[in-house]
Structure 1
Amino acid sequence: MGQASPPATGPHPPPPRRGQRRPGWFRIRSRALLTAATVVALTAAAHSTIPAPPPAGHAPPTAATLRSAYAANRANAAEAAAMAAAHGDVHRAAADRALATRDLLAFDGRGPGRATEVLGELRRADRIAVLVPGSDTSIDTYARFHRAAAALYEDLTHRAPAGTRVAVVAWLGYRTPGTVSTTVTTTARADEAAPRLRALAGRLRILAPARARVSLLCHSYGSVVCGRAAHGLGVDDIVLVGSPGTGAGTVAGLHTHARVWAARGSGDWVAHVPHVRAGLLVTTVGFGTDPVSRAFGARIFDAAGAGHSGYFTPGSAALANLARITLGETSEVTRA
């Protein structure tokens, strides 16, 4: 569940000849998943061949050492860019070079890559938004994730009352699943990511002022990550957009003291994803109750006609409401 559009529908299969059984849904689905898993495995193999240095070896940053941590991670990204270029991967080299110009709380250029980018002055921020991305987000596709973070930061800066300082943290801190893959239907990647997200939230409480309010903005499969991390997560708001579910049946099932919000645009294809959770062989597939349903119990806000990748579009109702929630202007949030 990521920012990609749904796959185009292909031609319908010919009708079965007399006496011939049409392939069942399970067999068709199994073949599709097998093909998808093969593609994802090949893509992962391609990522693993791109050389990159290990992450910069510094201690977790404090407010006093934040600038030096940024510098070390920028240098690491620049080194990764040089190694990717020497390897002949022009696209990865360009992505790494772009990251080498930004404030990075963390960077790891190996494999599909991980990065935590900060927009704004974290050490002085009163309101902080943490973006948690969905599937198909990696260093190679990071540019679109950065655009979402930059659009939110600009909107927050424009709306913030005088004297209120804002920051946005774009957290690509986990191995996101492929939109067309077997992993995107289970919580496995989210379960791996949850401790990392909790660690980030704890780190922000050290880096930012004690007065700072933190909002977690979770897109698509990222909302599954937020759902799995919610218990004990020290944030003020958890916002689910384009969510296939969280793995919990209700807001109470998230075991969080944060306010929980949810929205889905009328143009979002994720509305057609079955909201079920069922055991299958050795795993559980699906994510349960629809977060925008009355049964889930979230605070529903307006995302107008947003498509699955349109929640952070400048000028949109969805982006305006995300900014209002982050700023604590809850009475200004337009409801669906």
Structure 2
Amino acid sequence: MGRQRGSGTPSEHTDTGERPGRARGRRWRRGVLALCVACAVAVPLAGAARPRVPAPSPAVLAPPAAATLGATYAANRANAAQAARMAAEHGDRGRAAADRGLADPARQLLAFDGRGAGRATEVLGDLAHADRIAVLVPGSDTGLDTYGRFRAAALALHERLTLEAPAGTRTAVVAWLGYETPGTVSTTVATTGRAEEAAPALRDVVGDLRAVVGQRPGISLLCHSYGSVVCARAADGLDVDDIALVGSPGTGADTAADLRTRARIWAARGADDWVGNVPHLSAGLFGTTVGFGTDPLSPAFGARVFAAGDGGHSDYFAPGSPSLTNLTRIVLAETRAVTS
């Protein structure tokens, strides 16, 4: 919110010609509006308690390289196995099971941190030789306890990419749970704070991928819900080809051009997604900005809008859905085949 200029007695006018009482009323209404935005984003989903179970510190590793990926995966699996044992000793069987799943010898963990709600970066496919790479960025209430549903989305995309990729084109999907996601019923879900904290980590993982694969492969960010705010905050100068915003409440930017990226910006929303009912507004409240501004599907934003079908907020990666079909085409750079 802009600072009120001018001072004086209540009988005096401000330099905008507005009486102080009216200005206070306007600020109050904007505050109420901001609270409404927060409620609109938070209320439709039920929040989940954030577990605090003991876990080891993450493995200390050198930056990944194509030649060392196997060692990186093995070290992070070992860390996940240790986290599973500690969670089991603590009596948290659900977390222990989640950690054991990530410690399976078949899993390819580029990063793992079992502390708190947990973080993990998992690779599906042969990253070192991939020609096209998709990085999935999740939204609110995604942690190790709910990682299964996030991984299911990554698996569905990887299966579709494998099926649809032209002969000789190799693909990989990176499920990036690399930040502390906000709770769906919380004040943080309606502000850009967590996204601003997460953006450097997202830029780092893209840099790590480039270090592994070089400049040849195309990289796409597929950003769901609050993850679209994270992608927007990381976009400036990021070395990716496409950024797809699905189920986005807004990005905090007025236009796609404001993201200052060479990447193509895409946007989609399912017909039954409750995010469509969220007011696309932003307002200052208690020293922060609440709400995410322009609707990414609006012509004013300037994204390439694509079809997502009739699905809801969690259906963008559902097998057979129009959204998954179009996301697959975006990752494969088949942009002319994307339907609107």
Class of the TM-score when normalised by the shorter of the 2 chains: 0.7 to 0.9
Give ranges in structure 1 of 5+ residues lacking alignment: 1-23
Comparing 275-284 with 237-246, which one deviates more in the overlay? Answer: 275-284
Residues 30-61 of structure 1: per-residue CA shift (max 9 Å, x gap): 9x97xx9xxx99934xx22x111111111121
Matched, 1:213 2:221: no
CA distance in 2 between counterparts of 1:41 and 1:144 reads: 15
Matched to 1:82, the amino acid is R
Instruction: Say whether the 8 Å CA contact 1:62–1:206 is kept in structure 2.
Output: yes
Aligned residue for 2:16? none
Alignment of 1:246-325 (within 5 A): 246-325=251-330
Matched, 1:204 2:202: no
Instruction: Say whether the 8 Å CA contact 1:146–1:170 is kept in structure 2.
Output: yes
Give the SS at the match of 1:64. helix
Candidates 130, 154, 162, aligned match of 1:157: 162
Structure number with greater Rg is: 2
Give ranges in structure 2 of 5+ residues lacking alignment: 1-28
Q: 1:261 to 1:57 in 2, by over 3 A?
A: same
Q: How many residues align?
A: 303
Residues 88-119 of structure 1: per-residue CA shift (max 9 Å, x gap): 10100010011112100000000000000000
* Greater than 6 Å deviation, 4+ residue runs: none
Matched to 1:128, the amino acid is I
Instruction: Say whether the 8 Å CA contact 1:302–1:334 is kept in structure 2.
Output: yes
Matched, 1:51 2:54: yes
Q: 1:231 to 1:109 in 2, by over 3 A?
A: same
Candidates 141, 147, 172, aligned match of 1:142: 147
Matched to 1:196, the amino acid is A
Taking only the aligned residue pairs, the percentage that are identical comes to 68
Matched, 1:81 2:84: yes
The two structures have a TM-score, normalised by structure 2, of 0.86
CA distance in 2 between counterparts of 1:85 and 1:74 reads: 16
Aligned residue for 1:243? 248
Q: How much is the aligned-residue C-alpha RMSD, in angstroms?
A: 2.1
Aligned residue for 1:103? 108
Matched to 1:138, the amino acid is G
Alignment of 1:163-182 (within 5 A): 163-182=168-187
Give the SS at the match of 1:321. helix
CA distance in 1 between counterparts of 2:60 and 2:289 reads: 37
How far did 1:210 drift? 2.8
CA distance in 1 between counterparts of 2:241 and 2:64 reads: 23
